Amino acid sequence: MLDDFRMMTIHAHPDDESSKGAGSVALYSDAGVSATLVCCTGGEEGDILNPAMDSYEVRHNLAKVRQEELSKAADIIGYERIHYLGYRDSGMPDTDANENPDCFANAPLEEAVGRLVKIIRQEQPHVIVTYPDDQQGYQHPDHLRVFDISLPAWEAAGDPSRFPELGEAWTPLKLYYTTWSRARIEALHEMFLKLNLESPFNEAWFDRPSQDHRITTKIDVSKFSQRRTDALLAHATQVDPDSPFWFGLPSDKSAEAYPWDDYILAFNRVGPIENESDLFQGII
């Protein structure tokens, strides 16, 4: 068991924690790791993609509804705590929401970094998982901002001269970028075709720049595919239960096609590591 170890994931909106690395968190949580989620925004600009949830009441209370959905999903995955960074959803690129002074994308960088540093020092994670530096496939302002604050917070959290009013310094040991690999997309696409199903992966998916050459770490999460599916379904406003993209393959077939979560080890303080199969390699 890994009861003495802690991990933290940093996500932009409610539901991102379920679509990116949920299987890994479930695996480590079941093994005893204390997992903490940082959600940077309330997801106020999210579209309601499930027709069954598209009502006046839901539309006008979306932030509250999404917070309730996140609580359910986090419980399913195995997170012990959720911290909200406290910013408003910035909306998709080139929308009016981008101009809101309270949105995450417009937050002063030092202020946002300080909020994250405070949480890191409070939770004392050994491992942090965040978004990558290269997000050419999906340039949502909030996803870009997650990256912008994560590296400065990683550096500042362990420096007692930075933000001394925000608690005792804590030095995390490893920082990862989560990524959807080209290999995953190809494997899922092939499984759809093998089962004589229409694949949701069109040419645009294969035109996206591949980051596969940067992947350092592959975690076998095949036993947690259904947990990820259940967590996604908890975000009832944000996913259509009939979506072929998320639910077109049975969980067991999805796990058979591609059983891994992929990561890029961006920074570490434990020495050289290659071809990992464990986020805590070099720490334990």
pLDDT tens digits, one per residue of 78-95: 999 999 999 999 999 999
160 assigned to some structural domain: yes
Provide φ and ψ at 124, rounded to 5°: 55, 55
Q: State pLDDT tens for residues 192-208.
A: 999 999 999 999 899 88
User: Binning pLDDT at 50, 70 and 90, where does residue 136 land?
Assistant: low
Mean pLDDT, residues 244-265:
97
Q: State pLDDT tens for residues 13-38.
A: 999 999 999 999 999 999 999 999 99
Q: State pLDDT tens for residues 66-78.
A: 999 999 999 999 9
Burial tier of 189 (Cβ tally within 10 Å: 0-12, 13-18, 19+): middle
The residues near 128 (Cβ < 8 Å, ≥ 6 apart) are 7, 8, 9, 10, 120, 150, 154, 172, 174, 175, 176
Burial tier of 170 (Cβ tally within 10 Å: 0-12, 13-18, 19+): middle
What pLDDT was estimated at residue 137?
Answer: 63
Q: What residue numbers bound the domain in which 154 lies?
A: 6-181+212-268
Mean pLDDT, residues 50-59:
95
pLDDT tops 90 at residue 272: no
The domain spanning residue 22 has which CATH number? 3.40.50.10320
- Overall number of domains in the chain: 1
- What pTM does this model have? 0.96
Distance CA 262, CA 21 (A): 8
Strand order in the sheet with 6-11: 81-87, 34-41, 6-11, 127-130, 174-179, 260-268, 217-220
Percentage above 90 pLDDT, the chain: 92
Provide φ and ψ at 17, rounded to 5°: -65, -20
Distance CA 104, CA 15 (A): 17
User: What radius of gyration, in Å, describes the C-alpha atoms of the chain?
Assistant: 18
Decide: 165 and 25 in contact? Cβ < 8 Å: no
For 74, other C-beta atoms within 10 Å of its C-beta total 24
What pLDDT was estimated at residue 279?
Answer: 98
pLDDT tops 90 at residue 123: yes
189 assigned to some structural domain: no
Q: Which amino acid is at 148?
A: D
Decide: 6 and 119 in contact? Cβ < 8 Å: no
Burial tier of 71 (Cβ tally within 10 Å: 0-12, 13-18, 19+): middle
Mean pLDDT over each residue of the chain, to the nearest integer = 96
For 57, other C-beta atoms within 10 Å of its C-beta total 9
Percentage above 70 pLDDT, the chain: 99
